[in-house]
Structure 1
Amino acid sequence: MSFDRRTLMRGAAVAGLAGVALPGVAAATGLEFRIRHQYRPFDLIAPGFVQYDAPARAGAVTTGVRPVAPFCTVLVRSSGAVAAGLVGDGTAVLGRYSAGAASIEVTVGGTTTVVESVAAELPEGAGFAVVVNENAVTVLADTGAGWRPLLTNRDGVRALIDLRDPRVLRGLSYGYEGATGQVRAGYYGQAGVRDPHVVQYADGRPYIRDGKLYLTLTNAGLGFFQQAHWGVWTLDLANPTRLTQVANLFFARDGVVLGDHAGQIVIDGDEFVLAMSSWGDFNFTGVHVRYVRTRANVLSGVHVLPTRRMPLPTDVSSWDPAMTRIDGQWHVAFVESPAQSPAFVFHPALARGRTLERLAPVGADLTLDQTEGTIIQRIQGQWYVLASDGDARVYRKYDLAMRPQGTLNAPYGTNIPHPMVFRYRDRYWMVTFEGTQFAGPVLGYGTHGDFIVMTE
């Protein structure tokens, strides 16, 4: 299914508009952001997360190397007929090219079903990739002009097998046949990135080590929200074109492993507090915020973490959590959403409490219905809740009582970019994203976007 952001979440298809304040609403005094860098992270396998790298062998090869979450890729080169994917004893999920057609096939109990196929021409030596994002399988080819998807299928695969089930995944490893050259496999990277949120201490200070800012990003999958997952990255503040993924985060709930995302990591003493949105199994029937405390070093490596629902004081859907402890109380900003179908309706809200388990409502801006990307940040000595208004195309500011305080003076591009502001060496920065899709006609909505760095 194909989605346009304007159709799906109204108000995000306007391109390149500046963050000009609405009439009668003042922008931030003396603070004006300008775009310094804009670029697109794209990797079918995340650099640093390659699990298998070896010369191709003849015949059908089972590597014995397994991912712990269903977000992975196998890259090979074609010698004519070729196949790659996940294989086990009587079970397999493969992308295949043979005799002028590319296909996706699933084998369960020794019985093979061709889920989907499409005409294709793959010259000998061309790159051939099979990507698993949740239960979506995508076959791509590189014939010299970069990777392009040939076909993708989620529903047909899920009807036969559930790759989110850890029992199923434990029985599968990377495999291939008919390949030449080098074979590489590992954790899927991203078609683009979105939802930046700086890793911070509980008091709001950004976590920066050796001049590198740590932040979380939603790694866009090759499809809709369920195909994305969460990653931890570093941004070299001396050279902001160097954005490097350092961790892959997945979450166990309801008996499956999911790529929940769009959240925040807070360092609280010797623990990490992670809060994220339940987009990993989104089906238009609700979203909520989940969280976990852990002493595991989630800023490095691959993790599958159990989570529980955060008891936010709302009886409607919620996402985009932002947590900071101010004057001894946790402040949690989030998005409230009374509806996701037939249209999304969402606005910013704030809760407060001595613990994350006992939060009381502070306020919400019920006048808006296309506003997300909540951030809590101190700017020029004052604490604000920031949020992105997709209808007005501005970054709104609120005080800690959720009273409007004007807007940020910053460029506002496509989609609903999040206003992730932070301070480093007496200078304010903002990192955000935009809405350009990768191969939208084949993959549909969800494959955005570019990473954007702004400074004063």
Structure 2
Amino acid sequence: MERRELLRHVGAAGAVGAASALLGPLPASAATPVATPFDLHFSVAHKFRPFDLVAPRFVQYDSAVDRPTSTLVTLVGTGARPRAPFASVLVEVVGVDGPGAVVAGLAGGGTSVLGVVDPAAGRASIEVTAGGATTVVASAPVQVRGAFRVGVVVNENAVTVLVDTTGTGTGWQPVVTARDAVRALVDLRVPAVLGALEYAYGGRGDGSVRLGRVRAGYFGQAGVRDPHVVQHADGRPFTRGGKLYLTMTNAGLGFFQQAHWAVWTLDLADPTKLEQVAVLFFERDGVVLGDHAGHIVYDDRTGRFILLMSSWGDFDFRGVHIRHATTTADVLRGVHVLRTERVPLPTAVSSWDPALTRIDGRWHLAFVESEAQQPAFVFHPALAVGPRGADYAESLELVGADRTVDQTEGTIIQRVGRDWYVFASDGDAREYPVYDLSMRKLGTLDAPYGTNIPHPVLLPVGREWWLLTFDGTQYAEPVLGYGGHGDFIVMRHRPQR
């Protein structure tokens, strides 16, 4: 199922060149003349799938370093803890002899959320211990023998057990997952609850459970979506050492609440090299969430990062809104948990996909308005502008919206040639509409339109133009349902001759 189709119906159902540096917006007199967006002609140059159950830079425990692993019949605590409920434990199993099971997950203080794989019984299960009682909340058949791998992933309150029988660590397949049944017993989003839990693993039963390497850390992604270039306030892309910084929604193993936000770098000399360098979580209403689909702007005048994000982290079909935070901390590296507030947008309906730029001394904030999420989603692009001299979230006024469309999102503000434009993505028409700063539609981009509702992230790279986006390619949808997408796509402008 594509997102356009899902957003229409789920409510009713109940549920690129060897450039070594990135320049600012190119003038119309560049070597390849580009005066307007309609001079650009894109084709796909690269398409690939980032996939990591543990983000490579965010491993918190590795038994190869921290503790040798051998035969186990008990649960081993690691002493390492995640700051947000987006975490994984990956266990290499050398073998299980007799009636034994492999166990992994989070545990501490009499509470635990564990995945269990029992080869002899041919079952994988998820069990929650809380208040002195242990409950098996879900189970499913599994066939493993000899050497294999077990992964237990926590995304918000969703817990998923995966196995890899290839012996390579590249064949992960989910076996069983549960969210609502877990949440009924324990809420991992609550800091006091999560703070008492550590990564844990081990063996169980009367047999011999022989383990190899164990790694644990922050969950990576099953795919990526919603790319947005980190930029300076004036629209210049943010780069360090020949690498472009961008944010993306890291797809989780399930629906929107299971996703989270991360910062990545894209090597401008080789755009197939993506690396996750920061993980961002947000505390609000007493819980820590993976709000995502946002924008980061560095304001050189104040030395602060401005972060805007959409409140998908607790989405329950009762509205979405844009939130914000500012910080002088370097959010482009490491793990951050930030407190946020709601942006006072000039709209009485839901909103998401913010894009922020200061143009001629005035902050411009493009976003998506959505007057309905049930029985079907209805959404369109809009633009708000603040008065000269005001801060980015002060006295914003709506200057325009395209209410002729109802499946259009992915708002991006970008200058091409001498003028600024708002770009978006129309899932019904399968095209990328282009607007001026009064939200008057001028035309559409000449670029391939794939599955889902791909966001058109335009940026100049040296003397080239690229378009970064994603598609709706799912991961293990029969087990996990909708949400585990998509592939990362890099397009390049091909001048017509």
TM class, shorter-length: over 0.9
Q: How does 1:242-261 map to 2 (within 5 A)?
A: 242-261=273-292
**Pairing 1:411–2:448 present:** yes
**Pairing 1:83–2:103 present:** yes
2:21 aligns to what? none
Q: How does 1:124-203 map to 2 (within 5 A)?
A: 124-144=146-166, 146-178=171-203, 180-203=211-234
Give the drift of 1:28: 3.7
- CA deviations over 1:10-57 (Å, ceiling 9, x no partner): 49xxxxxxxxxxxxxxx9432111111000000000011000001325
Q: Structure 1 stretch 59-68 or stretch 38-47: which is displaced more?
A: 59-68
**Pairing 1:326–2:359 present:** yes
1:66 aligns to what? 81
Equivalent position amino acid for 1:141 in 2: V
Task: Give percent identity, aligned residues only.
Answer: 66
**Pairing 1:30–2:39 present:** yes
Equivalent position amino acid for 1:92 in 2: S
| 3-state SS of 1:9 partner | helix
2:6 aligns to what? 8
2:127 to 84, 89, 105: 105
- 8 Å Cα contact 1:125/1:180 also seen in 2: no
| 3-state SS of 1:29 partner | helix
- 8 Å Cα contact 1:435/1:449 also seen in 2: yes
Equivalent position amino acid for 1:42 in 2: F
| 3-state SS of 1:358 partner | coil
Give the drift of 1:308: 0.2
Q: Structure 1 stretch 72-81 or stretch 316-325: which is displaced more?
A: 72-81
Give the drift of 1:96: 0.2
**Pairing 1:425–2:462 present:** yes
| 3-state SS of 1:121 partner | coil
Equivalent position amino acid for 2:3 in 1: R
2:288, 2:147 → 1: CA distance?
35
1:387, 1:245 → 2: CA distance?
25
- CA deviations over 1:311-350 (Å, ceiling 9, x no partner): 0100000000000000111000000000011111000000
| 3-state SS of 1:168 partner | helix
Larger Rg: 2
Q: How does 1:306-345 map to 2 (within 5 A)?
A: 306-345=339-378
- 8 Å Cα contact 2:2/2:452 also seen in 1: no
2:141, 2:359 → 1: CA distance?
59
- CA deviations over 1:156-192 (Å, ceiling 9, x no partner): 0000000000000110000011250001000000000
2:114 aligns to what? 94
Q: How does 1:372-411 map to 2 (within 5 A)?
A: 372-411=409-448
Q: Structure 1 stretch 353-362 or stretch 146-155: which is displaced more?
A: 353-362
2:123, 2:315 → 1: CA distance?
32
| 3-state SS of 1:48 partner | helix
Equivalent position amino acid for 1:73 in 2: S
2:142 aligns to what? 120
2:146, 2:290 → 1: CA distance?
35
- Structure 2: where are the runs of 5+ without partners? 10-35, 204-209
Equivalent position amino acid for 2:151 in 1: A
**Pairing 1:56–2:91 present:** no
Give the drift of 1:234: 0.2
Give the drift of 1:208: 1.4
2:111, 2:8 → 1: CA distance?
42
- 8 Å Cα contact 2:264/2:278 also seen in 1: yes
Where do 4+ consecutive residues of structure 1 move more than 4 Å? none
**Pairing 1:442–2:479 present:** yes
Aligned length: 439
Give the drift of 1:4: 4.8
| 3-state SS of 2:38 partner | strand
- CA deviations over 1:83-110 (Å, ceiling 9, x no partner): 1000002110000012211000000022
More strand by share: 1
Give the drift of 1:74: 0.1
Equivalent position amino acid for 1:176 in 2: Y
Give the drift of 1:6: 4.1
TM-score, normalised to structure 2's length?
0.87
- 8 Å Cα contact 2:2/2:472 also seen in 1: no
Equivalent position amino acid for 1:107 in 2: T
- 8 Å Cα contact 1:216/1:265 also seen in 2: yes
TM-score, normalised to structure 1's length?
0.95
Equivalent position amino acid for 1:408 in 2: L
Q: How does 1:230-249 map to 2 (within 5 A)?
A: 230-249=261-280
- 8 Å Cα contact 1:374/1:418 also seen in 2: yes
- Structure 1: where are the runs of 5+ without partners? 12-26
Give the drift of 1:5: 2.5
- CA deviations over 1:224-259 (Å, ceiling 9, x no partner): 000000000000010011000000000000000000
